[in-house]
């Protein structure tokens, strides 16, 4: 029965829509132009503040007719203007309204309308375009489809304060990519918009300022140009500084601070410039205080985090400004039960958005603690901080989880914190849980943090090992994301450092030789370097070297050969030669090398290489091969007898290694010279 009732219900709703709104649409088709005009005016009055009426008129097809009237040259200017006003009002409804308008091709129709010389009509079209473009559901690319649109909008900036306000607002909302920045920059956005910063209209100044913030974001070309721009004889950076003064509206202070932040991050302003240290940074710290609105505190904290992210000196200054570290603790208590908010709507809004404060606080703590040990200590000693991070790792908001793990990653760079706070709060447990099921962005940061928790001196290393992490890390090495492959192999490398043979065997078993050698031919050089690091850590201590080489020696030497013969960086080849030096330090493993003449010739080639690092690593290999074990071993096996070392020395002498070592004792590099002399002494022993 429920199914049978659905159709009549729909019909009754539609008949209600038809009854109350049809006459407005019918009047748009009247043959008398005056009656059409009056109909549009009545429609305008009917839809103001009435979302239901707006939706009804859209359903009944008012939009295509309004657009038709707007585009007809036979329509009076007054009618065309009123159509643009009604369309603008319809656009102020719901997101569905905007989608319907965009689907009816409102944007090209309004852009075409801008070619009309009448200013009032232009302003009505721009106002409607502004409303459509600031909606998140409008594809901003529609502004850039026709290459004549941007230059025409630039030419309209001088027409009136309204055109200035609407056009700059459209630009600031539609500048989303580096390509958009370039288009606006190439069409003279800076020269055309800069004078608007001293407009008598606050709205124009504000929109112009927002334009510069989106143009300068991560854009060196724009930022370098902005730094030399003069506005009425004053440098633009100084205009921004004036806009950050305390007597200016908060919105203006924040946006001006963002402009200077982006210019600084793009390298146009030095981090020690007074406009950054004495003006921008204090302004942003000020925005974090609890007397500001939630969104101001969020924007202030996130912008400050971005400003000082790469600069330890700014981090130190910020950490001692206005008790910032303690101030951020309030972000986790908001809104409190004794909140001063009396506006119920504001309280409801803030309760829904309180997670944004936590996210911003984590981001700022991460930035503050990314370099300085004292700041990290101050952060972890802030009330319940580690508990808050642990809670943040399991929040429902993915953005909060990401910010919390970023904060944890920043603090995990501290040996002291790894040994104390991280151990006391068992942060590895929620971190491992996070790694089980998370988007790549979170996985990258969580696995980076895990790499630090697996360092040799971290007390968390043992319990993490016992939790079965090896399989999870081996899975990461198979990811399509290079960052995840790097982190997976990096964590395994840290785990293998000075590890028991049992752990090493489990890593090799779980990773599998096929995957290990696939990683050794990975196109990403970081993955390759970390895989070589893992191999080097696996091939350490003689019993481990001999055991691994006895089961995988052939494949390992094949992989090493491929790397040494291919076009790789000095760092990659140095690490590869260090692996050979480790193999040469084994008991039985060194014999595998000694029977591989091709590999010995490669070592010989690198001993004579022009790069000292490669010469030194190759000389280490030979030094280990000719070493007389009688000097260092109490028990000498049959494979490693003095006779064995004598045979190796004789073979290497015949191959010309002694002559090369002799030459290297005269090398200008002291380390290389010493290593060659040490090796030569083995022949004299």
pLDDT under 70: residue ranges of the chain? 1-20, 335-342, 628-643, 684-685
pLDDT, residue 437, reads: 82
pLDDT value at residue 163: 98
Q: What is the pLDDT of residue 342?
A: 63
Predicted confidence at residue 9, as pLDDT, reads 38
Nearest-5° angle of CA 424, CA 429, CA 430?
Answer: 110
What does the alpha-carbon distance between residue 674 and residue 3 come to, in Å, rounded to a whole number? Answer: 91
Closest CA to 237 of 228, 245, 247: 228
CA distance linking residue 208 with residue 215, whole number of Å: 11
With a CB cutoff of 8 Å and minimum separation 6, the contacts of 189 are 154, 171, 211, 215
pLDDT, residue 629, reads: 60
- What's the pLDDT at 224? 97
Q: Are 316 and 375 within 8 A, CB to CB?
A: yes
Helices (H), 454-541: 461-466, 469-476, 482-496, 501-511, 513-519, 525-538
pLDDT given at position 643: 53
End-to-end CA distance of the chain: 102
Tell me the two tokens of residue 409: 């990653």
- Predicted pLDDT of residue 642: 47
Q: How far apart are CA 71 and CA 80, in angstroms?
A: 7
Judge contact between 35 and 68, C-beta under 8 A: no
423: burial class by Cβ within 10 Å (0-12, 13-18, 19+)? middle
Instruction: Output the pLDDT for position 14.
Output: 47
């Amino acid at each position: 029965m429920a199914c049978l009732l659905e159709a009549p219900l729909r019909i009754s709703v539609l008949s209600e829509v038809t009854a109350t709104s049809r006459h407005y649409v019918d009047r748009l088709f009247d043959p008398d132009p005056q009656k059409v005009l009056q109909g549009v005016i009545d429609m305008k009055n009917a839809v103001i503040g009435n979302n239901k009426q707006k939706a009804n008129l859209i359903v009944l097809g008012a939009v295509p007719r309004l657009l038709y009237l707007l585009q007809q040259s036979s329509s009076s200017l007054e009618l065309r203007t009123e159509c643009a006003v009604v369309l603008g009002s319809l656009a102020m409804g719901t997101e569905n309204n905007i989608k319907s308008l965009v689907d009816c091709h409102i944007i090209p129709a309004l852009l075409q309308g801008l070619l009309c010389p009448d200013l009032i009509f232009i302003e009505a079209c721009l106002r409607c375009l502004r409303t459509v473009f600031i909606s998140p559901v409008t594809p901003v690319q529609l502004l850039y489809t026709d290459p004549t649109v941007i230059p025409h909008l630039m030419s309209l900036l001088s027409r009136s304060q309204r055109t200035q306000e609407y056009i700059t607002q459209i630009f600031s909302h539609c500048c989303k990519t580096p390509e958009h920045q370039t288009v606006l920059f190439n069409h003279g956005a800076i020269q055309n918009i800069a004078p608007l910063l001293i407009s008598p209209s606050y709205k124009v100044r504000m929109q112009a300022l927002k334009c510069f913030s989106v143009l300068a974001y991560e854009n060196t070309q724009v930022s370098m140009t902005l730094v030399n721009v003069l506005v009425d004889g004053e440098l633009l950076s100084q205009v921004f500084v004036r806009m950050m003064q305390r007597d200016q509206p908060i919105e203006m202070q924040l946006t001006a601070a963002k402009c200077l932040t982006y210019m600084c991050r793009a390298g146009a302003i030095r981090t020690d410039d007074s406009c950054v240290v004495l003006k921008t940074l204090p302004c942003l710290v000020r925005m974090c205080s609890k007397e500001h609105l939630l969104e101001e505190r969020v924007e202030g904290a996130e912008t400050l985090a971005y400003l000082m992210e790469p600069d330890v000196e700014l981090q130190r200054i910020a950490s001692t400004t206005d008790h910032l570290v303690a101030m951020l603790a309030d972000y986790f208590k908001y809104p409190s039960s004794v909140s001063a908010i009396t506006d119920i709507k504001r309280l409801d809004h803030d309760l829904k958005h309180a997670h944004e404060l936590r996210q911003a606080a984590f981001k700022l703590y991460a930035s503050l603690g990314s370099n300085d040990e004292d700041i990290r200590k101050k952060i972890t000693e802030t009330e319940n901080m580690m508990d808050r991070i642990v809670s943040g790792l399991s929040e429902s908001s993915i953005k909060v989880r990401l910010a919390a793990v970023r904060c944890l990653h920043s603090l995990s760079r501290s040996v002291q914190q790894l040994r104390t706070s991280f151990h006391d709060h068992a942060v590895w447990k929620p971190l491992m849980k996070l790694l089980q099921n998370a988007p790549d962005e979170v996985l990258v940061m969580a696995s980076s943090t895990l790499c630090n928790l697996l360092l040799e001196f971290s007390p968390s290393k043992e319990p993490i090992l016992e939790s079965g992490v090896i399989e999870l890390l081996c899975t990461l090495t198979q990811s399509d994301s290079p960052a995840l492959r790097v982190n997976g192999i990096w964590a395994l490398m840290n785990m293998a450092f000075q590890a028991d043979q049992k752990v090493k065997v489990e890593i090799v078993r779980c990773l599998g030789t096929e995957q290990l050698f696939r990683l050794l031919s990975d196109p990403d050089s970081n993955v390759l370097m970390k895989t070589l690091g893992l191999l080097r850590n696996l091939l350490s201590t003689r019993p481990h070297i001999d055991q691994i080489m006895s089961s995988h020696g052939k494949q390992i030497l094949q992989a090493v050969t491929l790397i040494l013969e291919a076009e790789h960086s000095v760092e990659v080849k140095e690490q590869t030669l260090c692996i050979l030096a480790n193999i040469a330090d084994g008991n039985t493993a060194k014999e595998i090398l000694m029977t591989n003449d091709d590999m010995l010739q490669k070592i010989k080639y690198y001993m004579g290489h022009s790069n000292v690092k490669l010469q030194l690593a190759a000389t280490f290999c030979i030094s280990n091969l000719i070493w007389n074990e009688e000097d260092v071993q109490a028990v000498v096996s049959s494979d490693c007898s003095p006779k064995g070392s004598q045979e190796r020395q004789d073979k290497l002498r015949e191959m010309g290694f002694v002559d090369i070592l002799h030459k290297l004792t005269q090398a200008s590099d002291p380390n290389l010279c010493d290593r060659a002399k040490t090796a030569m002494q083995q022949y004299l022993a």
